[in-house]
Amino acid sequence: MTKRYKILVIDDSETNLYLIKSIFRDQKNISVFSESESSHALKVVKKIRPDIILLDLMMPEIDGFELLNQLKSNINFQNIPVIILSAYHDNVLINRATELGAAGYIKKPVDIVEIKNLIIQLLNEISINP
């Protein structure tokens, strides 16, 4: 039996949540979960224990940087790869996300091939080094 991987998408845009879910709809070994409110994100992470998190930077309440910092400073979540999704392409933001521990940075609008390749690469790394 093959492992079923869980991806959590944290984004306040319903369109982006739908797009990410549709990208992985045909992947039998991947389940995509979503959360549109950053204030609930840590509870969802704790509940489902995702293998990868896709995180929008600019969100109301708690922004992506703060949420990334909370995830990476929590011993229970710090090893979950977090990929930033953002419409902002500024190198300062990309560097800040990397310094906080992001495993990748994908610019919006999302390139379907790019995001699929990055997710598959990370899942392969997870399966090799659980």
Tens digits of residue pLDDT in 18-27 = 999 999 998 8
How far is residue 55's CA from residue 26's CA, in Å, rounded to a whole number? 22
How far is residue 112's CA from residue 117's CA, in Å, rounded to a whole number? 9
Query: What count of other Cβ atoms lies within 10 Å of the Cβ of residue 87?
Result: 13
- Domain holding 93, by residue range, is 5-128
Number of domains in the chain: 1
Which domain CATH number covers 92? 3.40.50.2300
> What does the pLDDT read at residue 49?
96
How far is residue 4's CA from residue 74's CA, in Å, rounded to a whole number? 24
Q: Is the pLDDT of residue 35 over 70?
A: yes
Q: What is the pTM of this model?
A: 0.93
Per-residue CA distances from 16 to 2, 21, 106, 130 (Å)? 28, 9, 13, 29
62-96 residue pLDDT tens? 999 999 999 999 999 999 999 999 998 889 999 99
User: In this structure, are strands 5-10 and 30-35 parallel, antiparallel, or unpaired?
Assistant: parallel
